[in-house]
Amino acid sequence: MGMAQPQQSRLFIKRRDRSEEVKACPRPGNREHQVTQAMNHSMRDYRHAYEELAKV
């Protein structure tokens, strides 16, 4: 028979104060630049996936 494992110490995380409401805010910067970067990233991923499928 094995012996019981010692209980692991758990990480204690304080509960968030619910009385304080956090609102989302947009990131500062040029919106056009952010959209352009996002589209470029998406197209790069798309091209990479397409090239991987073409190898099959």
Answering whether pTM is above 0.75, one says no
At 23 the pLDDT is 81
At 2 the pLDDT is 66
**What is the per-residue pLDDT across 13-51, written as a single tens digit (0 to 9) for each?**
888 888 888 787 777 778 888 899 999 999 999 999 999
Decide: helix, strand or coil at residue 29.
coil
At 55 the pLDDT is 86
Please state the domain extents for the chain.
32-56
At 31 the pLDDT is 85
- Please tell me the distance from the alpha carbon of residue 45 to that of residue 51, in angstroms, as a whole number: 10
Distance, CA of 50 to chain centre: 24
At 1 the pLDDT is 58
